[in-house]
Structure 1
Amino acid sequence: MGSHRRLAPSGFDRGACVARLAVGVLSAAAAAAAVVPAQAAPHDDTRAEVDRLYAQAEKATEAYNEADERADALRGQVSRAQDRIARQQDRINSLREALGSLAGAQYRSGGLDPSLALLFSEDPDDYLDKATALDRIGVHQAGQLRTLQEAMRQLGQERAEAAEKLGELEKSRRAVASHKRTVEKKLAEARALLNTLPDDERAAYDRASRSGRSGMSDLRGAVPASGRAAAAVAAVRSALGRPYVWGAAGPSGFDCSGLMQWSYAQAGISLPRTSQGQRAAGRQVPLSEARPGDLITYRSDASHVAMYMGNGQVVHAPYPGAPVRYDPVGMMPVSGVTRV
């Protein structure tokens, strides 16, 4: 979302005092009008509230991105845990079959060892707990039983861990849904407010939000800190003019952190999904030492991020209705400069 640039007031309302003529005095000086103090343009408050709602939606978008990233990681963990459980269950089945074959051989040779008979009882877990203490188990049988017992213990542990991850995943899914509702609510409120503006005011706001430029006159004076940074700069320039889409990381649309993640991915660098994570993804440098490719995070909570391009300019994905564009580095309070 972005720069939240406010338009200058369209004008001032001026009131004039009624000129009073003094009785019997025809002096023109007596008819001079006094001007009352100027008042704010009537729609400034509406535009400021739209900006505030966009800022709140951006914070919710970054929270959504974080929850979604967490959900993706948990889905991967759950999937890997399920694979391990399946492999362990196959191993246990194989061990049971081996022990069953041993029991069958013993039966054919003259009777089933009582300790192996317990394997097929209604409570095999109790059998496994007691098996190593039974005197009649041979060395080979005891080894197989201990292996089976350990495999079953590991399976139980992995199932418990998978159940815990599934619970975390469900919480993360609920968080994603909650943040999505917040974003959509704030954006709907902003759109509704914009629709209350007169046509000319709304058109002026829209022009300001679409004032991005396809290029700058001279960005050659600043040199990227590395070849990777130079590649990211080239990538972010290629995205100029593409639309802001909340929760998107390209290539057809972006939110602020999605644009940074995509641009550095083109340079072979994996960045975290959120602007907060990106602030911590490299070395912090002073703003006075910023070089093209550095990430500039904004506000105290780092809820917005842009890429420094040199000569006091950044490229970023501002907010709905505003395409990826250049803006001054000081468009909002800077919270950090990160060199990846």
Structure 2
Amino acid sequence: MASHRKPRQRPLSGGTVRTAATLALAGAATATAFEGTSHAEPRQTPAQIKAEVDRLYGEAEEATERYNGAKAGADEAERALTGLQEEAARRADRLGAARGALGSVAAGQYRSGGLGPALQLALASDPQDYLERASLLTRVGERTAAEVASVRRGLDDVGRLRAQADGRLAEVRARRDELARQKAVVEDRLAAARRLLAGLGAEERAAYEARHGGTEAAGGRPGAAGAAGQDRSSAPAPADGSRAARAVAFAYGAIGKPYVWGATGPGSFDCSGLTQAAWRAAGVALPRTTYTQINAGRRVSRDQLAPGDLVFFYSGVTHVGLYVGNGRMVHAPHPGSTVRVAPIDSMPWAGASRPA
């Protein structure tokens, strides 16, 4: 009969234990090395970092323009809401006064309603006087009926205004939600760009900022790249008094002021805030965003550009500058930069327009 006992295991000798331990440690080290290799992110070159920063700044500017559009819509909705609420309150006050007057008339009719017209005529000491008063009462009754109809219309108007105000309130809330979303996108992209730039060496970072109109040049002097290097003195004097010349003069006067997203001046600007402020100084009201400014005025081709024209860039029309002649523009590049002069061929062309 076969035995079913478990075979006796021999204990490991000291040398065998040392060999097994060595193999286990080697295997663990190899696995760790492979794991580290598979998860390690390759270090970006300065050129790659700069390209990524450019992309993040582009996305931030696109979100900034959406933020500007949402803010303009929210401001308009809030103004409309305030107007509706104020008009509803005025009409409600007038309606209250009219209803009070009707209540007084109704109370008077109730007090004198015990005697019919024939009996009042029979008991009158002066029938002629009664007839005259009756005629007056008839006219008063007609007027009262008209006032009743007016009160009914007033009630309808107040109800309509309040319904419109409710709709505007819902729009205001939606616009505010959109503002918050776009603000979060802008701040996220800008924070990521700042982190990447912080990883560059001092010389690489200074070179990048100088190339993009940064607020600090290689020497560390604020505004050296963005302001001092610009030919501010070459600003054309608005001798002809034209609005375009006044807009150009304003733009030159803004050189060196910082880019701040969402800003429209006077101390800082974003790209569309600068062009809007420049033309506002010339007496022309432009809409707030790049994608609405391009449709303000008459479209012009690149070979027809004249000083004062708005020049737009990127496929999404997310950047704008003010053309100043000789293939150059004044623009606010991006956060961390200042208003500066730049060639119009430094960015992908999207179109141009001439404000009326």
1:151 maps to 2:154: yes
Alpha-carbon offset, residue 219 of structure 1: 6.9
Q: 1:250 aligns with which of 265, 269, 277?
A: 265
Distance 1:294 1:97 in 2: 61
The alignment-based identity, stated in percent, is 44
d(CA) in 2 for partners of 1:170, 1:111: 57
Residue 109 of structure 1 deviates from its aligned partner by: 2.0
Aligned to 2:326: 311
Contact 2:232 2:255 in 1 (8 A): no
Structure 1 window deviating more from structure 2 (138-147 vs 309-318): it is 138-147
CA, structure 1 residues 218+145, in 2 after alignment: closer, same or farther (shift >3 Å)? closer
Root-mean-square deviation (Å): 2.3
Say whether residues 1:165 and 2:168 are aligned partners. yes
Secondary structure at the counterpart of residue 338 of structure 1: strand
Q: 1:76 aligns to what?
A: 79
The more displaced of 182-191 and 210-219 is: 210-219
What is the identity, as a one-letter code, of the residue corresponding to 2:322?
M
- Distance in structure 2 (CA, Å) of the matches to 1:237 and 1:277: 23
1:112 & 1:257 partners in 2: Cα distance? 78
Structure 2: stretches of 5+ with no match in the other structure: 1-43, 117-139, 215-224
Equivalent-residue separation in structure 1 for 2:238 and 2:315 (angstroms) = 28
Q: Report the Cα offset of residue 296 of structure 1.
A: 0.1
Q: CA deviation at 1:91?
A: 1.5
Deviation per residue, 1:203-236 (Å, 9 max, x gap): 222232333333178676x999980000000000
**8 A contact 2:313–2:350 mirrored in 1:** yes
Return the offset for 1:332: 1.0
Q: How far apart, CA to CA, are the structure 2 residues paired with 1:104 and 1:267?
A: 64
Question: Normalising by structure 2, what TM-score?
Answer: 0.73
Which structure shows the bigger proportion of residues in helix conformation?
2
Query: Is the CA contact (8 Å cut-off) linking 1:245 and 1:253 kept in structure 2?
Result: yes
1:295/1:306 contact within 8 Å kept: yes
Q: Residue deviations 1:265-317, cap 9 Å, x none?
A: 11111110101111011100111010000000111211100000100101000
- Aligned partners of 1:56 and 1:111: how far apart in 2? 82
- Larger relative contact order, structure 1 or 2 (CA cutoff 8 Å, min sep 6): 1
Aligned amino acid, residue 47 of structure 2: D
Letter in 2 for 1:97: G
1:1-340 to structure 2, matched below 5 A, reads 42-110=45-113, 138-209=141-212, 210=214, 211-212=225-226, 213-215=229-231, 227-340=242-355
Cα distance in 2 for partners of 1:289, 1:99 equals 70
For residues 112 and 104 of structure 1, do their structure 2 counterparts lie closer, same or farther at Cα, with a shift above 3 Å needed? Answer: farther
With 265-274 and 51-60 compared, the bigger mean Cα shift is at: 265-274
Contact 1:297–1:304 (CA under 8 A) maintained in structure 2: yes
How many residues align? The count is 276
- CA deviations on 1:77-130 (whole Å, 9 max, x unpaired) are 0011011101110111011111111012123324599xxxxxxxxxxxxxxxxx
SS of the counterpart of 2:345? Answer: coil
Q: Give the distance between the partners of 1:61 and 1:319, measured in 2 at CA.
A: 10
Distance 1:234 1:223 in 2: 7
Considering only CA atoms, is the larger Rg found in Structure 1 or Structure 2? 2
Asked whether the 8 Å contact 1:85–1:158 carries over to 2, the reply is yes
Query: Structure 1 stretch 48-57 or stretch 192-201: which is displaced more?
Result: 192-201
Note if contact 1:92-1:148 (Cα within 8 Å) is conserved in structure 2: yes
